[in-house]
Structure 1
């Protein structure tokens, strides 16, 4: 095993090797839309998850609100199939609604140190990726599940990179690319420098990172570091906002609000990640109980309106 690395790698060191390890080689196999617009507006089903609509109604609601791109949750897809639905049904509904599943949210523990548990997690992820491939989804979120709690051990970033490469190689076979997701509250992979080190050190051209307005704030990273990441590494970016009375030590997932309803530097962030060569998928991810108490279509339409204003002039 290679010598352990310092936990806080400098971004300057990371970017020195960025071009060699995170390249736009995925373009031909990913579901990235044509770069007719700088941004593609997408709805993460977390935003209407509290209404417990089920997969079909979630897709219908997103479509009625004007979304052509969505992020689904794997457990919702699995529940639909368990209840008698089929993969063919999902594909047909997506086609009829003119919706693309850009990414899926799952929680397979692929990064943990426990070898036996990690093997089960990787097998779980493989099966989920195979299912996603059947419905035409080309990406899956892979955060630090199982290693996020305050009492979790610190995972050596070299080992994390090796484990990320292992699931990227599964992606080579399934056609579904794991997106290395940063969680600002996590004991592991909570900062831009950490996720970029793991992505780069994986040595795999399909490595991608999944970032989030809220998680950048929560983890204490600066948006001024975003240009150092390298635009090929970002295909999907989670958007949301937070209010002025929130601080990063106490803010939680449920405190996120619609873009424009808070003080987050959203437009500045979008300008930094904007890529003239492709359309970045901006996916609204909130878990707000106030929104869950409202009609789902009203929430989805509000989301679309807020997102259009968010990207205006960027």
Structure 2
């Protein structure tokens, strides 16, 4: 995988079933446990998980709510398509409230990090506009990945430069009320390691600085899961969960290889124990891009994902 952003957008075109992915079968306990709460964690659905069904913004929200999720991560492009087709921010907020959902985070790809000044200026303008829209629907955060600085041939950016640029968007977040969360991308030369993300977050010295880490990206980027023990508790509000099958090396594994939590070999319980915070609930958000799941009913996928998340987090 040479360009993670491109990979994400083209995941529906990926042919073949994920290696090692099991066929979907809803656990009997899914509906029974959907409203139960582990006080250490909140459970969210990242809409990537049902993105392949092409339901549209409102239907995605409805599926998440019906499946038992109280929190979601939306994709900005889906929200903006809804707006372009006649929806309004006010109406979207009403729908979200009626469904009893919290918009914990939004996934976008504004190029705030790049060296190209014109591109970065455009990226900052884009991000500002997105933050203002997201604030209108009560979205609390927006992902800030190394978009545009993530191809195989992308230059390695100085971490102090990244820190300066992250501080800039943190200041934008203060103005809009939507916090930018520094996102790890394991296939990028920039922000691929836990240590890189943690350096920028801590060096920023900003009260709103946060890290968005991910089970898949920790493996893909070559970080040790033991490194999670060195991430300060305040640095994590939301954590992407998924799993990966055996037999695929980090250099070869790609986005569509993500599977449900507990269906692979990732040390998920170890990771959850490391990030667990007695002072607050950590949001565990299911983010997968699995082609075989996209062939299934979206509600079944969401219900199955929630049940499997709860099963693996139980007792952590």
- Give the shorter-chain TM-score range: 0.7 to 0.9
Moved more, 296-305 or 198-207: 198-207
Aligned equivalents of 2:212 and 2:77: distance in 1? Answer: 20
Aligned equivalents of 1:158 and 1:88: distance in 2? Answer: 39
Q: Which residue of 1 aligns with 2:46?
A: 44
Q: Which residue of 2 aligns with 1:170?
A: 172
1:89 and 2:87 correspond: no
1:208 and 2:244 correspond: no
Aligned equivalents of 1:177 and 1:67: distance in 2? Answer: 22
Aligned equivalents of 2:159 and 2:271: distance in 1? Answer: 26
1:194 aligned residue (182, 193, 196)? 196
Aligned equivalents of 2:209 and 2:51: distance in 1? Answer: 28
Q: How does 1:47-62 map to 2 (within 5 A)?
A: 47-62=49-64
Aligned equivalents of 1:305 and 1:199: distance in 2? Answer: 32
Q: How does 1:212-227 map to 2 (within 5 A)?
A: 212-227=214-229
1:124 aligned residue (116, 123, 126)? 126
1:263 aligned residue (262, 265, 280)? 265
Q: How does 1:291-302 map to 2 (within 5 A)?
A: 291-302=293-304
Shift of 1:203: 2.2
Q: How does 1:220-235 map to 2 (within 5 A)?
A: 220-235=222-237
The CA RMSD measured in Å over matched residues stands at: 1.0
Which secondary structure does the structure 2 equivalent of 1:101 belong to?
strand
Which secondary structure does the structure 1 equivalent of 2:39 belong to?
coil
Aligned equivalents of 2:222 and 2:258: distance in 1? Answer: 16
Q: Which residue of 2 aligns with 1:181?
A: 183
Aligned equivalents of 1:244 and 1:158: distance in 2? Answer: 36
Aligned equivalents of 1:302 and 1:204: distance in 2? Answer: 38
Aligned equivalents of 1:142 and 1:209: distance in 2? Answer: 9
Aligned equivalents of 1:238 and 1:171: distance in 2? Answer: 21
Which secondary structure does the structure 1 equivalent of 2:237 belong to?
strand
Aligned equivalents of 1:224 and 1:37: distance in 2? Answer: 24
Shift of 1:36: 7.5
Shift of 1:60: 0.4
1:77 aligned residue (74, 79, 84)? 79
Moved more, 150-159 or 196-205: 196-205
1:240 aligned residue (239, 242, 246)? 242
Q: Which residue of 2 aligns with 1:284?
A: 286
Structure 1 residue runs of 5 or longer lacking an equivalent are 1-34
Shift of 1:223: 1.4
Aligned residues: 280
Structure 2 residue runs of 5 or longer lacking an equivalent are 1-36
Q: Which residue of 2 aligns with 1:21?
A: none
Aligned equivalents of 2:231 and 2:70: distance in 1? Answer: 28
Q: Deviations over 1:245-295 (max 9, x none)?
A: 121110001100000100000011101100000000000000000000111
- Give TM-score scaled by structure 2 length: 0.87
Which secondary structure does the structure 2 equivalent of 1:214 belong to?
helix
Which secondary structure does the structure 2 equivalent of 1:206 belong to?
coil
Shift of 1:138: 1.2
Q: Which residue of 2 aligns with 1:101?
A: 103
Aligned equivalents of 1:143 and 1:309: distance in 2? Answer: 29
